[in-house]
A = this chain, B = another copy of it.
Amino acid sequence: MTSSPAWPDLRGIAYGGDYTPEQWPRETWIEDVALMKQAGVNLVSVGIFAWALIETDEGEFDFAWLDELLDLLHENGIRADLGTPTASPPAWFFAAHPDARVLTRDGTVMGFGARGMASHSSPAYRDAVVRIASALAERYGDHPAVVLWHIHNEYGVPVGEDYSEQSVRAFRGWLQDRYGTLDALNTAWGTTFWGQRYGDWEHIGAPAAAPSVVNPAQRLDFARFTDHQLRECFILERDAIRAHAAQPITTNFMANQSWTTDMWAWARELDIVSDDHYLWAADEEGEIGLAIAADLSRSVGGGKPWILMEHSTSAVNWQPRNVAKRPGEMARNSLSHLARGADAILFFQWRASRSGAEKFHSAMIPHAGTESRVFREVVDLGAKLGRLDEVRGSRVVADVAVLWDFESFWAQDLEWRPSEDITHQTQVRAYYEQLWRDGITVDFALPGQDLSGYRLVVAPAQYLLSAADAANLTAYVEAGGTLVVSFFSGIVDENDAVHPGGFGAPLKDALGVRVEEFLPLREGDATTIAWSGGEPGTLGATAWQEDLVVEGAEVVATYIDGPGAGRPAITRHSHGAGTGWYVSTKLDRAGLTALMGAVYADADVAPSGYPEGFELVTRRGADADYLVAINHRSETVSLRAAGTELLTGTQIAGMLDVAGGEVAVLRTPRVLEGGGL
């Protein structure tokens, strides 16, 4: 279905942002294109929230302004990423179709006045998105400015789950497709518990507000259903466009910041992955969350180049405290995305809006205008990217995979888990962060995929694990892989039912342990762990212990105190040609550093050797490697390197000083590994 060019038709790295000239008078348009050229902008996203301006009433279209805009861009050599405006239907739509409005879990009707799509299951909404997408594709499928289609905006945010009658009806149909019979559904959901057995499809509802906790298997299926319905809406639009237009089609994710859509499944439907990423201002190391998002965007697309569709030049506006980026930070962020596979660096948005909910969001042209630090850095970044044409299309190299499975995350996020202190997000971040600090580049992976290319696979939060996926992980170990599994993994099957044999049973062969009982700690309690072999030092941990029964594994470390005192804390198991590690607690940072040091030795994975905060990622091109070095520290770091530093054009032989806050991009026939200051 989606055969199309692999990349928008433009030169070099794409650079630009969302552009909303409809908010400005015509004279500003003229100024804008001049400034875009000054800044090196070659791609802008248009039309994303313009439904009401294009289809002014049901079936009545006004393309004049968009014609004018696209022509203007084309005349000035700027390419367009043309959006379908379906994330924000017009007022007339909701007035004509009140039953398409979304209902929350507690029955509140979502009104107009902000933004947000209609019910993903509303026939009227589905008709309307096909109509507007078709109309746009028909009119602009051949427009020379249009090089990319941008469907919708951030599916699942701010509207994902819908509890309306339209959604309930669709849910029943989806369940019939999934289960075939009510018996199968009753078994999968375990409806004998709490007397929920269904005798009629029509009695099944959405998991709306109820007196107690709703059946978790039902909620998990509702999450799957929501993802499926949203994706169906996307496919409807995609196919409507493809009928008239040949350019690649994308939609923008919010990797690591939104959880409604299963990015792996979506990526299979896209021509190109794109992602929006915003720093979390309260996090003083927001660059780590950024790296997760970037690696995930690349991974779901199978390593292909992707588009950073939105990020910010400085502060956003929707966080509790919207911290502005410091000088150089925007460039470091942008080049970190590029290092991790992005071949397009775009912003929300070109020019700051005077009105509306996001007027305090930064932009390429801030309210202060072009006489501003931000615009000067925008121009400078455009120039830098202009020197990186050859990097385009190269691929990131990673020897380590971290498992990332939306279904497991959905299941683990449900209510009534053993401890509030455990979340999949903190567990993934903890292990990823350790790898980041050690300078090791990782891919994200699914537990069921081919993992044979990785020396090390880390499973920080694989609560839901099907028997088949467990077998895949076991086979990976057998074949010589090193697997690290963190606690609360391998607990339930795809129906959120505990595996027969007890917690972790499906991984018993790979890990040589089983979990007799969880031992969550009280709020704030910490615990200490000793190496079993008498190695000096201890490891710190919090939140969780387990009553672990060793069945073949060696005990690497033991609890000194807490409810599990004297019991195994960390184990290591030789299985086939490989090794399975099990970590039964939430190690603190120092504990994780010590643990992973031992794991790397097992897996023959080498840390970069550079100080923390000196980010190093390699992209492998056809003819050369591109080493991107981002110095998040304030002092200079000396990089052992040879080749050409592309941003400055300097030849490097042996040593390159990367000043604090600066970035280097080195073309090199050979990356030097290991290193030092």
Contact = CB atoms under 8 A, between A and B. Distances in A.
Given A195-B53, A211-B110, A498 B354 contact: yes
A311 to B, nearest CB: 17
Interface residues of A, number: 119
From A53, A317, A357, A520, residue with most partner B Cβ within 10 Å: A357
Given A91-B204, A516-B368, A517-B372, A209 B110 contact: yes
Interface string A251-284: 0000000000000000000000000000001101
A111 interface: yes
A326 interface: yes
Contact of A520 (B49, B57, B208, B315): B315
A351 B203 CA distance: 29
A95 interface: yes
Interface stretch (A293-301, A358-366, A437-445): A358-366
Interface in A1-41: 20, 22-23
Interface string A185-228: 00001111111111110111101111111111110000000000
B355 A497 contact: yes
Contacts of A368: 502-503, 514-517, 549
A360 B491 CA distance: 10
B195 A51 contact: yes
Contacts of A354: 190, 497-498, 500
Given A85-B195, A193-B357, A355-B193, A110 B420 contact: no
Nearest to A366: B517
Nearest to A109: B107
A554 interface: no
A326 B85 CA distance: 58
A284 to B, nearest CB: 7
A571 interface: no
Contacts of A53: 192, 195, 197
From A90, A211, A317, A418, residue with most partner B Cβ within 10 Å: A211
Nearest to A189: B355
13 contacts: A49-B193, A56-B199, A88-B195, A91-B198, A91-B203, A111-B205, A116-B210, A190-B354, A281-B522, A282-B523, A317-B418, A321-B420, A368-B549
For the complex of A and B, the 7 pairs showing the least CB-CB separation, nearest first, are: A190-B355, A116-B211, A193-B356, A114-B210, A91-B203, A49-B195, A52-B197
Given A359-B498, A368-B516, 13 more contacts: A57-B199, A111-B210, A116-B211, A190-B354, A217-B356, A320-B420, A321-B421, A321-B522, A324-B520, A355-B495, A355-B498, A366-B502, A373-B547
